[in-house]
Amino acid sequence: MKRGWQLSCITSLMLLLMACTQQYADHGLLFNSDSERAFQSAKIHTELAAEYFYRGQIEVAIEEVNEALKAQSNYAPAYSVMGLINMSLNENNKALSNFERAIRLAPRNPEILNNYGWFLCQRYPERMDQAIDNFMAAAKDPLYATPERSYANAGLCEIKRQKYADAQIFFQRALLIQTNFSPAVVGMIEIDFLRGNLIDAKTKLTQFLQNNPSTPESLLLAIKLERAIGNQLAVDSYIFQLQKHFPESREAAAIREGMIR
């Protein structure tokens, strides 16, 4: 990524944040001009870290988190993003430490609750109830911009412990907020697949893929579905699409490593 773009991005974010800054009451801080500048710097660097993380630029994301914490050492969202980075690197102990610190600093921040819930769901199945509680606390926060994400995450976690009826309820709640929300739609189709309704699942998934951008999750489900039906040509086609369009995804890695049968 060119440095000029990064500086332009920082400038744009600075203008946006100066124009419209939202703060949660649980921060418990009153800012003078110096501390406000530190807060804004921490916020901007954290948002850049999250962007780099989702682009797969892990080293740059870590640098941005470190810059955020230099600006404000108790900025909770920075620890949450660092937890996601640790999670992606399978550094579970570090991730747990960073998420717990984020929660201590901002116990009602919905984004942090959502991220922490996802971590617990994926890495500590014995703490699944706590993960669901975190998702619900996030989803019910009136200041949370994307509650459908937490409902969908809760549904995906309920699938992991084969509680399909509960998962379906969570997906339906997500779809009431945002019609055709991809993770929820694919989650509902996955329930059909797991219940053995292969024809219905294939019909719905084919329609979804024809009318929406594909995702690693939808392509992986298509691979598993076509494999169950016995259509190897379709399996190979979906594997090719997954590896071509999402080579860095964990779904693509799982296929390459033979973890999906």
CA distances from 256 to 7, 231, 248, 249 (A): 37, 19, 11, 11
Model pLDDT for residues 141-157, shown as the tens digit of each residue? 999 999 999 999 999 99
In order, the DSSP letters of 216-251 are: HHHHHHHHHHHHHHT-HHHHHHHHHHHHHH-TTSHH
Helix orientation angle between 33-54 and 58-71, rounded to the nearest 10 degrees: 170
119, part of any domain: no
In order, the DSSP letters of 70-105 are: HH-TT-HHHHHHHHHHHHHTT-HHHHHHHHHHHHHH
Whether residue 100 has pLDDT greater than 70: yes
Range of the domain at 215: 180-261
How much is the pLDDT for 258?
79
Question: What does the mean pLDDT of the chain come to?
Answer: 89
How much is the pLDDT for 107?
97
Instruction: Read off the CATH number of the domain in which 193 is found.
Output: 1.25.40.10
33, part of any domain: no
Dihedral in degrees, nearest 10, Cα atoms 72, 57, 258, 231: 110
88, part of any domain: no
Model pLDDT for residues 231-242, shown as the tens digit of each residue? 999 999 999 999
Q: In the chain, how many domains are there? A: 1
103, part of any domain: no
